[in-house]
Amino acid sequence: DFLFFWGAVFLVTTTLVALFKKENQELIPAKEETKGIADTYRLLFSIIKMPAVLTFCLLILTSKVGFSAADAVTGLKLVEEGVPKEHLALLAVPMVPLQIILPLVISKYTAGPQPLNTFYKAMPYRLLLGLEFAFLVWWAPKVKHEGGFPVYYYAVVVLSYALHQITLYSMYVAIMAFNAKVSDPLIGGTYMTLLNTVSNLGGNWPSTVALWLVDPLTVKECAGAQGHTCATAAAAEV
């Protein structure tokens, strides 16, 4: 029902935009230098070869490695420790207005000549919140009781997620602002797409690696089975 309702809203609103929104015919957009797919990829390759762009791509491809475990694994580990999935889903509801307001607030600080300053300032706080998330996972079994988890535990989780959203959006908006600032207007779409794709990739591959490393890096102990370390799936099954 939820998906059906919002699917209907999406279809209605986009249809209304298609029917009633008129393009401004007076403004003639700047003609892009590319003419086809081959030209576009040649242009992208020439952009990537620029030393400054290459350095920036290496920066954003590796900048989120320190957050990958906290971002990708925390929710799964909380569920593993007994926090109901539906409760975690409900905790995401208070984040929605925060996610709407944050870009508006942060954009005031990224509108200047050095938008990446906000990115750098938010990074250490986001790293520290990774330790906070690790503490939440460690703390979960300590406060769990027969009825579930106390209200104060959920309050701490919501506060932690809210602080995490602030740091996350500070970095995200700063990167978007920087990409928009440095992109050449003549090839703005191509330039922005390249930088944003690299930025998205920089957030996705560390999370994938973090999820893949969960099992190899998890320490397990066997009870009542001498000589078994439970290090492999077969040993844990035995």
Domain extent, residue 175, equals 69-191
23 located within any domain: no
What pLDDT does residue 29 have? 56
Percentage of residues of the chain with pLDDT beyond 70? 92
**Cβ pair 160, 133 in contact under 8 A:** yes
What pLDDT does residue 11 have? 97
| pLDDT tens-place string over residues 145-188 | 887 889 999 999 999 999 999 999 999 999 999 988 888 777 76
74 located within any domain: yes
54 located within any domain: no
Residue 108 pLDDT greater than 90, yes or no: no
| pLDDT tens-place string over residues 132-142 | 999 999 999 99
| pLDDT tens-place string over residues 67-99 | 999 999 999 999 988 899 998 888 888 888 988
pTM of the full predicted structure?
0.77
Residue 126 CA to residue 131 CA, distance in Å, equals 9
Backbone angles phi, psi at 148, to 5 degrees: 120, -130
What pLDDT does residue 201 have? 93
Q: How far is CA 62 from the centre of its chain?
A: 14
DSSP characters for 136-205? Answer: HHHHHHHH-BTTB--HHHHHHHHHHHHHHHHHHHHHHHHHHHHHHHHS-GGGHHHHHHHHHHHHHHHHHH
120 located within any domain: yes
201 located within any domain: no
| pLDDT tens-place string over residues 113-129 | 888 999 999 999 999 99
Residue 31 pLDDT greater than 60, yes or no: no
| CB within 8 Å of 210: residues ≥ 6 apart | 68, 69, 71, 72, 73
174 located within any domain: yes
The CB-based long-range contact list for 154-160 (8 Å cut-off, 24+ gap) reads 154/87, 154/91, 157/78, 157/91, 158/91, 158/94, 160/129, 160/132, 160/133, 160/136
Structural domains of the chain, count: 1
What pLDDT does residue 145 have? 85
